[in-house]
Amino acid sequence: MERKLFKELFLKKKAIGLMVLDATEPNKNIADALLFFALKNRFITFERAKRSEYPIELSPFSMYQNNLKGDFDYARKNIQKGL
């Protein structure tokens, strides 16, 4: 059931969850870089190997498709132009 929901949302360019990773230093283990994630009705954080879970209500939202690549390319072009 959930897999079907996720696929339908993905095809509509919608999401119902997100992950936030610490990208300030390299980690070979994704679990070490994971700051928090939210999915449907749960918000889960990790601090010093302690997991905390909180109830939340998430509705489907538009996916950000370009990550940072588009922003960086735009900024780089403007910097090169001297703007």
Q: What are phi and psi of 53, to 5 degrees?
A: -125, 135
Q: Note the pLDDT tens digit of each residue in 16-51.
A: 888 888 878 776 777 777 888 898 889 988 877 788
How many residues does this entry show for the chain?
83
C-alpha span between 39 and 22 (Å, rounded): 18
Of 34 and 83, the structure prediction assigns the larger pLDDT to 34
Confidence (pLDDT) at 21: 80
Confidence (pLDDT) at 55: 94
Counting the structural domains of the chain, the total is 1
Res. 1: pLDDT tops 50:
yes
Q: By residue range, what is the domain housing residue 47?
A: 2-81
